Structures are given as structure tokens and as C-alpha cells.
Amino acid sequence: MLLQEGTNKRISYLVLGDTIAKAVQIFMDLKIAIIPVLDGKGSLVSIFSRSSLYRAILNGATHQDIVDPYLIKEVISISDDISDEELADFVKVSPVGSVPVVNKEGKVIGLLCKTNMVMTLFRQSELLNGQLKAILDSMHNGVIAVDSSGIVTHLNIGASRILGLKSENYLGCGCNRLLPNLDLTPALVNGEVKIGLKYKHDNITMIVNITPLNIGGSIAGGIVIFQDLTDLEQAAKELETVKALNKTFDTVLNIIHDGIIVVDEKGKTALVNQAMADFLALPSKEMIGKHVTEIMADSRLHLVAGSGVSETSDVMTIQGKPIIVSRLPIVREGEVVGAVGKAVFPQLAEVRELADKIRLLENKVTFFQEELQRSKTAQDIMNNIVAESSEMKKLKEEITIVASSSSTVLITGESGTGKEGVAQAVHACSDRWKGPFIKVNCAAIPENLMEAEMFGYVGGAFTGAAKSGKQGRIEIADGGTLFLDEIGDMPLGLQSKLLRVLQDREFERLGSTKCIKVNVRIIAATNKNLHRAISEGQFRADLFYRLNVINLHLPPLRERWEDIKPLTHYFIGKFNNILKGNVKGIDDDTMAALLNYSWPGNIRELENVIERAVNYTRSGLIRLTHLPNQILSNSSSESQTNNGEIRHQDQIARIERNMIIVALEKAGGNKTKAAKILNLSRSRLYDKLNKYNLKN
Ligand SMILES: Nc1ncnc2c1ncn2[C@@H]1O[C@H](COP(=O)(O)OP(=O)(O)OP(=O)(O)O)[C@@H](O)[C@H]1O
């Protein structure tokens, strides 16, 4: 290679007997230092050099003389297959400036000129230098080259980076300036190689190698190579953390009862935890590296690793045992790199026990939710029954007791006393609260329609009957409560049919012989005196006794005056809401008038009076002017004479009754205090309370 570049192939030859003139001509034409001289066969025999020419001139030779006497006999030549190293050595030691290059056949193919050679070597060394610098700068390690005195002759980018050197030129300065206290003497003086020295400078821990540079048997300098250990230490710490995590991961995997198996993207088993190994009765070591189907023929884990689609809660049978499996793909940087399978081994007894517990808890939750709902509804309904008087308070207590049984209830009381509200409260507080509450107003349905309405009918049962037939109210009330309002008005014919329902909880639809069983609670209500109706033959005694299992009686409002005031406020609130009114209350005189009234229409009448008053008042207080005349004139049906005049003694009685009510109000119901206010003895007051039906 070197030879190629350094060989001059523009040459000419001389043969024995050629003239000096020819030689001079060649020197002039080709500017070469020697001319090879060949024999008749073309082989190199001698050389005619410039010094040969000078000798001929000194000997007085002319240009016509032949070259032969002046030739150099001992020819130095080199072969054309000489290696670069041999050539370099030759150039270094040979005293000659040019030599012929001879091929295998002994023919001269050119001349090697030492100057060309040196130039070529110089270019090569420049190239090498550049390559070496690039290599050094691309190294992560720091490299500093020093001469034999420890002066920096080169430092790479890695060294500048590690030592944090700025743009300053450090070439030519002592190595100690860059790496203080690093002893280079053993390398530079004794030629010792130092490997793996731990060296710290500027809080940087480094590992350093120092190698002497031996050139031609003497130490020409040294190379210091160093590496920043900070990164390594960091990496070592991270490795430790990863190791610790791995250990934790292993422990977790082996502690859980679920089986875990991991495969790579080709379905080869990469990990098996202890639970899985136990279940398969194979040591995990034996499974690692095997295709998952070799371990479990039916496995689909490799398919999940291929498709990337997870599969959850699948049931598989392995070795005759059922297991619940989930398979999840492992995705790394958007690519599926494997899959993990999780198997749950049902411990049947435990699972059953757990399922029972859950079922029990669910039942409890449902029960409590329903109870909460029921008590909310029941509470709302009960709250809407205003009860201040002891009779009504007692009645509310009875409602809650009665609600807990399924016995038939008969609610009695004058019209408008709140019988329907009580029936609804009994239903709402009972177990049947979720079932229907069906009301039948026995007085409102025409007698001829009553039977069909109550019992229902089948298609074509009578003229005008719907084709598909119809359910009766009793059937609709199945599972709930049937409220028979105004039971005293039920036609006699129907009473016997109802009796059967009460006795056997069964009946037939009109036109049908099919017996229908129902689970229904019956609550009846009446404002009639049923005893009288029985004696008049209007009501069946046996039905009465069947209905009157539990009797709830609502006293008329005039007998529970304590309820008038709270009811008034309750209705003011109710109608303020409905009518968007802003009535603040009622003034004392007007309240006294309400308390003094005998309320033949009971609560319904009071409700109507307040509705009317709220309509008139809209805001502020209800005053006497907002009340209807019959209340203002303190009239009551019983106290009017036939021609509508009010009897004198009735007027006095009403005034007295009114005074007692007001005194009781002021005394907060305390009769002794009320007697004092009225200036009466206690026994006198009791007499008057009896007289005016104000006992409570
Ligand atoms: N204690 C009470 N608290 C609040 N409102 C009541 C009370 N009692 C009855 N009411 C109200 O009075 C009105 C009449 O009550 P309900 O219709 O229940 O009487 P009833 O005795 O069934 O009458 P009827 O015998 O005429 O059917 C209803 O609007 C009801 O909400």
C-alpha cells in the first residue's frame, strides 16, 4: 500500500554500453535520482546515479563515453511485495534516497523515492491522528495523554466533561492541574501500569488507569484513562432497588392463593408462582421455558399473548378440577410482549360459606332499606294525623299496634273525622305497605254495578261487560289492603258475598266458577250506627262481627277541642303551600271563635273553613272577617230554633263553654289552674267540663 503510493513508475532504463549523454538526457527528462541498468534479458544488473555522473565528469569523461566504468555494482533494491512495516523500517535505516522496485520476475517496475515515501507516511500519520482523535472524543471515558514530564499533550471531550473543564486550553499544562495529587511517577519513571485506582476530585469519584507510553524502548509519556463512578453508583443503587422489588414481587406472588402464570409473546412460560405450581403438582423450574400448552393442553394464554385481547372469568377444568381464570395481555410501549394468567381455585366449602354470608347480608340490606322506606312513608302519614288530644294520641298508638296484625278493622266515627286517614295509616304501618291500598266507597257506587266492581267479571258475563273481563277491587287489592268506606251502605245481597271473602279470603268473578284466592286485609269504615242498621235489618249481624274484630273510634272534633288549634295551624300551613299564600297565623279572637264552634262537619269542615280563610287572607293573620257566618254567629245546628233564632240559654252556654276553653288554653290544660282563672272550684269546673263535653 505504502509502496504503491511512494513508487515512481515514470522511469527509463540504460543498458551496458549506453553513453553518458543518454544518461544525462534521462536525468533531465524524468527528474529522477537513479537510472536502473539492465542486462540483455531485461534484468537489473546495476544503477547509474547522479553521483556516477559526477565521478565520470571528474575523471574527464565526455558525453560520448560509455556509462559502464561508473556504474554502482552493489545494487540495493526492494521487492514489490514488501509490507508497510518493512518498508517503513527500510526507509528509516537505508542511506539511499532512491531504490529500484523489482517484481517477482526480477523486472524493475519503478523507483521508490524516499521523499515521496516520507510525504506518504506523513499523510498517513495525519489520517491516523484524526481517526485517533475522533475515537478518543467519542469515548465516554476521560483520556489525557502526557509527555514524559507529565505535560498534557492531549485530552478528549470525555475528560473535559467529567472534570467540568471550560473552554480554556489545557494543552501544555501539567497534568496535576487537572488531576491534582494523581501520582504519575510510577508510570512515567518506572514504566509501571496502574489499573483501577480510585481517585476523588471535586466530589467526583473516578476510577483511573495509567499506562506508560513506551516508544523505541524509552518512556515517551503516559495515557491516563478515567471513568466517572457517579453514574455507575447510581446504576448500582437502582439495581439494588430493582433487586429488592423483585424480592417483594416474588414474595407477593408466592403468598397469594391465586395461581399466576406468565408467558412471553410466543407463549413460552416465563414465570409460575407457588400456588400454580402446587395446583399443577409440578416444580416451577420444570415449567419455565416450556410452551404453556405443554403444561396445560387447553390453555389459551398464548392466544391472548398473540391477540392482546383479555379474557376474564372463564371457567376451565384442569386435572378434573374447575378453576376460574382470567387472562390479560402484558403491553410494553404499545406492544404485546406476553400475557399473564390468573387462576382462582374455588375452595368450595369456603365459597359456599361466603356466598351464604353475602346472601344473608344482602337480605339484611334489603330488609333495612325496605324498613327505612316503610318507616319514612308510615312516618309521613302518621305525622299528617294531627293529634293533641289524649283520645287522638291514644288512637295513634292503637294504629301502630293494630298495623302489626292482619285482623280486620272497623273504623267508626262521624263524617269528616278522619277515618280514611286512619285506614291509610294502618296500611302504611303494616307489612303490606308495599302492596296496594284499594278504596271502595260503598255509598258512591250504584247498587247494580257494585258486585262487578267488587268481585270483577269474566268476558260476556253480562250485557255490556268488557270482552276480556275485568278484575274486581278485591282482586286488585291482593297483597295489600281493601278499604271499604261507608260499609253501612253496602247492599244486603253483597254483604253475604263479602262475608265469604272475610271468612275464606276467596271468591269467584261474576260469570265464573273459578275460585280466586286473595291475601288481603280488610279495613271498613262507617259513620252509621251499625247496631241500629242491624236491628232495622239493613246490615248483617254476622258481617258486623266479622268486621268489628278491632274497632278504632274517632271522636267528633267538638269532643277533642285541644286538636282544634293545632289542626288550624296545620291547615294554614297546608293551604299556604297549596295556594301559595303567606298567612302568618290567626288572631286570638278568631281562634276563640273556632274553639267555640261545635264543628258538626268535624275536621273536614275545619279544613274547608281554613281553606276559605287562607283564600281571603293571603298574608298576615286570619281575622274574624275571614270566617264564614255560621261560625261568626256562633251558631250550631242544635242551638237553632226551628225558625233559625238562637235560644237564650244556648247563647249563655256557648259563652260559658268558650270561657272554659280559653281558660284551659291559658292554663296549658291544667284544670286546677283553669279553675283558678275562672274563679271556680275544681269540682265545679269538672261538672261544667262534663256538661260541655270538654272532659279531656
Ligand atoms: N287528625 C287529622 N289531622 C289532620 N288532618 C286530618 C285529621 N283527620 C282528618 N283530617 C283531614 O280531614 C279531612 C277529612 O278526613 P276523612 O276524609 O278521612 O274523614 P272521614 O271520616 O273518612 O269522612 P267520611 O266519613 O265522610 O268519609 C281529610 O282532608 C283529612 O286529611
pLDDT range class, residue 643, cuts 50, 70, 90? very low
Decide if pLDDT at 373 tops 70. Answer: no
Distance 637 CA to ligand 1 centre (A): 21
Nearest CA to ligand 1 atom 2: 385
Q: Which atom of ligand 1 is closest in space to residue 554's alpha carbon?
A: 21
Closest C-alpha residue for ligand 1 atom 8: 418
pLDDT value of position 445: 86
How many helices and strands in the chain, by DSSP H and E? 28, 28
Kindly indicate the confidence band of residue 149, based on its pLDDT and cuts at 50, 70 and 90. very high
Whether 368 has a pLDDT exceeding 80, the answer reads no
| Least-confidence region, from 87-91, 151-155, 493-497 | 87-91
> In this predicted structure, which of 207-211, 298-302, 372-376, 389-393 has the lowest mean pLDDT?
372-376
The band of 328, judged by pLDDT with boundaries at 50, 70 and 90, is very high
Task: Tell how strand 619-622 and strand 142-147 pair up.
Answer: unpaired
Q: Which three cell numbers stand for residue 531?
A: 247496631
Atom of ligand 1 nearest to the CA of 413: 21
Residue 480 burial (CB < 10 Å; 0-12/13-18/19+)?
buried
Residue 605 CA to ligand 1 centre (angstroms): 10
Distance 548 CA to ligand 1 centre (A): 21
Q: Which atom of ligand 1 is nearest to the CA of 603?
A: 12
Q: Once rounded to an integer, what is the mean pLDDT over residues 177-204?
A: 91
Domain segments of the chain as ranges: 2-120, 256-346, 384-554, 559-691
If you take atom 18 of ligand 1, which residue's CA is the nearest one?
Answer: 418
Residue 422 alpha carbon, nearest atom of ligand 1? 18
Give the pLDDT confidence score for residue 648 in this predicted structure. 56
Q: For residue 266, give every residue at least 6 positions away whose Cβ sits within 8 Å of its Cβ, in sequence order, or none.
A: 291, 302, 305
Specify the higher pLDDT residue, 239 or 650: 239
In the predicted model, what is the mean pLDDT of residues 314-333?
83
* Class in CATH terms, 384-554: alpha beta
Q: How much is the average pLDDT of 594-623? A: 91
Expressed in angstroms and rounded, the spacing between residue 484 Cα and the centre of ligand 1 is 15
Of 564, 565, 532, nearest to 412 by C-alpha is 532
> What percent of the chain has a predicted confidence (pLDDT) above 70?
93
Lowest mean pLDDT across 137-151, 363-377, 517-531, 638-652:
638-652
Q: Among 160-174, 196-210, 336-350, which stretch is predicted with the lowest mean pLDDT?
A: 336-350
Residue 691: pLDDT above 70?
Answer: yes
Distance 590 CA to ligand 1 centre (A): 22
- Cβ–Cβ < 8 Å for 159, 144: yes
What CA–CA distance (Å, rounded) separates 548 from 423? 14
Give 694's pLDDT tier (boundaries 50, 70, 90): confident
Closest CA to 562 of 401, 393, 412: 393
CATH code of the domain made up of 559-691: 1.10.8.60
The model's pTM: 0.47
- Give residue 660's pLDDT: 86
Q: What integer best gives the mean pLDDT of the chain?
A: 87
Cα–ligand 1 centroid distance for 414 (angstroms):
10
Mean pLDDT across 620-625:
91
Specify whether the CB–CB gap between 253 and 273 falls below 8 A: yes
Spacing, Cα 558 to ligand 1 middle (Å): 14
Minimum CA distance residue for ligand 1 atom 26: 415
- The tens digit of pLDDT for each residue in 55-83 reads 999 999 999 999 999 999 888 999 988 88
30-34, 149-153, 167-171: the lowest-pLDDT one = 167-171
CA distances from 313 to 177, 261, 325, 342 (A): 70, 15, 5, 9
User: Looking at 587-650, which runs of residues are DSSP E strands?
Assistant: 619-622
Nearest CA to ligand 1 atom 11: 418
Length of the chain: 696
DSSP assignment of 436-472, as one string?
Answer: -EEEEETTTS-HHHHHHHHHEE-TTSSTT--TT-EE-
Domain made up of 2-120: CATH architecture: Roll (3.10)
Closest-lying ligand 1 atom to the alpha carbon of residue 526: 25
Q: Kindly report the protein residue whose alpha carbon is nearest to atom 10 of ligand 1.
A: 418
254-258, 410-414, 554-558, 565-569: least confidently modelled range: 254-258
Give 19 Cα–ligand 1 centroid separation in angstroms. Answer: 159
Mean pLDDT of 235-244: 87
| Overall average pLDDT of the 137-161 stretch | 92
- The helix/strand/coil state of 534 is helix
- CA 604–ligand 1 middle distance (angstroms): 6
CATH of span 256-346: 3.30.450.20
| Mutation to probe ligand 1, out of 417, 559, 562 (largest number of atoms < 8 A from CB) | 417
Select the more confidently predicted residue: 683 or 91: 683
Quote the ipTM score: 0.92
pLDDT at 280: 86
Contact 474, 508 (CB under 8 A): no
DSSP 146-199: EETTSBEEEE-HHHHHHHT--S---TTSBHHHHSTT---HHHHHH---EEEEEE
Look up residue 525 and give its three cell numbers: 269504615
pLDDT at 629: 86
pLDDT value, residue 372: 64
Q: What is the pLDDT of residue 498?
A: 92
DSSP 306: H
Question: What is the distance between the alpha carbons of residues 506 and 499, in angstroms, rounded to a whole number?
Answer: 10
- Cα of 419 to ligand 1 centre, how many Å? 6
Cβ < 6 A, ligand 1 pocket: 384-387, 413, 415-421, 485, 527, 567, 570, 603-604, 607
What was the pLDDT predicted at 574? 93
Q: Is the pLDDT of residue 38 over 70?
A: yes
Nearest CA to ligand 1 atom 9: 418
| Atom in ligand 1 nearest the alpha carbon of residue 415 | 25
* Whether pLDDT at 356 is above 90: no
Q: Average pLDDT in the 15-34 region? A: 93
pLDDT for the residue 554: 95
Q: How far apart are CA 312 and CA 327, in angstroms?
A: 6
| Tens of pLDDT, residues 675-687 | 998 888 888 898 8
- Closest ligand 1 atom to Cα of 485: 27
What percentage of the chain carries pLDDT values higher than 90?
Answer: 51
pLDDT at 119: 80
Q: Residue 226 Cα, ligand 1 centroid: separation in angstroms?
A: 103
Mean pLDDT, residues 18-25 = 95
Ligand 1 centroid distance, CA of 445 (Å) = 20
Q: Is the pLDDT of residue 515 over 90?
A: yes
Residue 99 CA to residue 109 CA, distance in Å, equals 11
**pLDDT value for 635:** 41
Low-confidence winner among 118-132, 134-148, 183-197, 400-414 (lowest mean pLDDT): 118-132
Residue 416 alpha carbon to ligand 1 centre in Å: 5
pLDDT at res. 88: 80
**For residue 508, how far is its CA from the centre of ligand 1 (angstroms)?**
34
pLDDT at 427: 94
Specify the residue with its C-alpha closest to ligand 1, atom 25.
415
Pairing of β 34-38 and β 14-15: parallel
Residue 351 pLDDT class (50, 70, 90 cuts): low
- pLDDT (mean) for 143-147: 94
Ligand 1 centre and the CA of 574: distance in Å?
Answer: 14
Angstrom distance (rounded) from CA 594 to CA 623? 11
Confidence of residue 642 (pLDDT cuts 50, 70, 90): very low
Least confident span in 33-47, 219-233, 460-474, 595-609: 460-474
Mutate which of 380, 420, 485, 609 for ligand 1 pocket (most atoms within 8 A of beta carbon): 420
Which of 426, 554, 569, 603 gets mutated to test ligand 1 (max ligand atoms within 8 A of its CB)? 603
* pLDDT for 203 beyond 90: no
